[in-house]
Structure 1
Amino acid sequence: MAFGDFNQGPGGAPMSEINTTPLVDVMLVLLIIFMVTAPLMTQSIGVDLPQAEAVEPQEDAPKVSLAIDADGRIRWDQEELDGAQLKARMIAAAAEIPQPELHLHADRKTSYEHVARVLGAARAAGLERVGFVTLPEAGQ
């Protein structure tokens, strides 16, 4: 038995197949790494949400995320806005067809004054679909 016989198939012909097992192993490891790190790459707003019981929405309409942090700063889909910019965005959103759902993420420590101001601006702009985002109650 010679050492050069390892690269030959049956009958002395060269082996023409590629061993794909190491490739599959590497691809599975990469898939697992991406699956684990993908949720970590989403930017968090830094809002401590209150807990409440909620009903799942029935329709699939466009959604806008509006966050109010404990200091009263407002973020529209991760972009910080002042009062005039917020009103302009709400008017533009109210004119869209179908009208998007406004998902309000209010920090637990946010004063009611900030929440009421945003709700009043949404009503004045004509936004009809406003919902509060909360955490599910413990035990559910």
Structure 2
Amino acid sequence: MSARAIAFPRPRTPDYEPFASMNITPLIDVMLVLLVMMILSIPMMTHKVPLDLPQPGKPTSDRPVIHLIDLDAAGTLAWDGAPIDAATLQSRLAAVRSDPDTEIQIRADAAARYERFDQTLAVIERSGITKLGFIGNERFKDFDAGK
């Protein structure tokens, strides 16, 4: 067998000319990635939490009546310093619900079980109280300051 030389055809023009069109495939890839990111982020931006905030205006009285509910580490409730049970709490909340100048504040011990705190909040919600404040959260205002 004899070896044959392979000849490549010569280009028709001696100078190679640049293409006159642009490669748009990377642009389409970037556009599709941005479109997918937008589609995924839209539901998060439209998520709303219904919250009734106080409206500006003149208060009905100078000093509102404030009742304090304490929850200690053992799960015992106290109304203005006097120990009470859940049934008594319901009746007292029903009695103060009609007074628009009454505010309820709840303070929970740091060692209190969250389940008991959640049950107390459920009792307050079922009673129809709309003015509720949380006491003791000030200790968490600088929670991430050490980072």
Pairwise TM-score range, normalised by the shorter structure:
0.5 to 0.7
> Larger radius of gyration, structure 1 or 2?
2
Match of 1:62 in 2: 65
Q: Deviations over 1:60-116 (max 9, x none)?
A: 421111000000000000110011101101111112232x11111100011111111
Q: 1:120 to 1:139 in 2, by over 3 A?
A: closer
Match of 2:74 in 1: 71
Match of 2:97 in 1: 94
Match of 2:117 in 1: 115
Distance 2:140 2:109 in 1: 18
RMSD of aligned residue pairs (Cα, Å):
2.3
Of structures 1 and 2, the one with the larger relative CO (CA 8 A, separation 6+) is 1
Q: 1:137 to 1:106 in 2, by over 3 A?
A: closer
The TM-score with structure 2 as length reference comes to: 0.50
Match of 2:127 among 125, 128, 133: 125
Distance 1:85 1:91 in 2: 10
Where structure 2 has 5 or more consecutive residues not aligned to the other structure, the ranges are 1-55, 143-147
Distance 1:138 1:73 in 2: 23
The TM-score with structure 1 as length reference comes to: 0.52
Where structure 1 has 5 or more consecutive residues not aligned to the other structure, the ranges are 1-57
Match of 2:87 in 1: 84
Match of 2:136 among 93, 112, 134: 134
Shift of 1:138: 8.4
Distance 2:141 2:129 in 1: 34
Which is helix-richer, 1 or 2? 1
